[in-house]
Amino acid sequence: EIKGIIFDLDGVICSTDEYHYQAWKKMADHDGIYFDRKINERLRGVSRAASLEIILEKADKQYSDEEKLALMTKKNDLYKELLSAMTEADVSKEVLDTLKELRAKGLKLAIGSSSQNTKLILSRIGLLDFFDGISDGTIISQSKPNPEVFIKAAGILQLKNENCFVVEDAEAGIDAAVAGGFHSIGIGSASSYEKAEHKINSFREIINLV
Ligand code: BG6
Ligand code: MG
């Protein structure tokens, strides 16, 4: 029985996955590192530091820890510049209506995101006070595919993992859900991932699964 739903943020609730790509692309171009949308797919759900390591596989020099920190800071500054233009209009009516409908059905709703910018994004899109729990990159020590962020979300909701859905656009996120014993729903980039228990093409289809 499903009593709660844990939503990934970037690429599920809002399209910040595109802003992540644009910010990494600008950083990579500036440093002459090859980066494209195919490589970007591997960054979904993955922490900032792990994302940089994947990007640097294409670099032709070694970067020191100090230089890596500077690159991450540069990327996050570029990313936050993009976030500053976000408003409530950056959540689709479909997402908002579906969230409200799920809430009205008595389900507990949480965010489970690797991002350290989670609360900033939620406040920009007017959803900071909407969810029953927020588990994010500021309270975890291991990023997806480790299930820590979802386990903490279920803990905040006071629900068993097996009573929760995890909604994810990242393969790493589906892997994390499976590893934690959650039921999983793949959407967007994860909508054809074989490990996703349910696969949907649009957000409102979640209603049919609860
Ligand atoms: C995830 C994104 O939600 O958050 C990743 O899918 C991103 O692409 C990760 O790297 C960390 O985000 P942030 O905002 O802490 O750099
Ligand atoms: Mg995502």
pLDDT the model gives residue 119: 98
**Residues 90 and 125 sit within 8 Å (Cβ to Cβ):** yes
β-pairing verdict for 164-168 and 4-7: parallel
> What is the value of pTM for the model shown?
0.96
pLDDT the model gives residue 112: 98
Active site residue 129: no
- Secondary structure element (H or E) that encloses residue 198, with its range: strand 198-199
Residue 125 backbone phi and psi in degrees, to 5: -95, 10
Q: What is the pLDDT along the chain (210 residues), one digit of tens a residue?
A: 999 999 999 999 999 999 999 999 999 999 999 999 999 999 999 999 999 999 999 999 999 999 999 999 999 999 999 999 999 999 999 999 999 999 999 999 999 999 999 999 999 999 999 999 999 999 999 999 999 999 999 999 999 999 999 999 999 999 999 999 999 999 999 999 999 999 999 999 999 999
Q: What share of the chain is helix, strand, coil (3-state, %, to 5)?
A: 50, 10, 40
Q: Near ion ligand 2, which residues have CB within 5 Å?
A: 8, 10-11, 169-170
How far, in Å, CA of 150 to CA of 15, rounded?
20
ipTM: 0.98
Residues facing 184 on adjacent strands = 166
Probe ligand 1: pick from 10, 13, 76, 140, max atoms within 8 Å of CB?
10
- Written as six digits, the tokens of 44 are 């979904």
How far, in Å, CA of 189 to CA of 41, rounded?
8
pLDDT the model gives residue 83: 98
Report residues whose beta carbon is within 6 angstroms of any ligand 1 atom.
9-10, 17, 20, 43-48, 51, 76, 113-117, 137, 170
**Residues 162 and 183 sit within 8 Å (Cβ to Cβ):** yes
pLDDT the model gives residue 86: 97
How far, in Å, CA of 207 to CA of 202, rounded?
11
pLDDT the model gives residue 74: 97
CA angle 118, 201, 107 (to 5 degrees): 55
pLDDT the model gives residue 109: 98
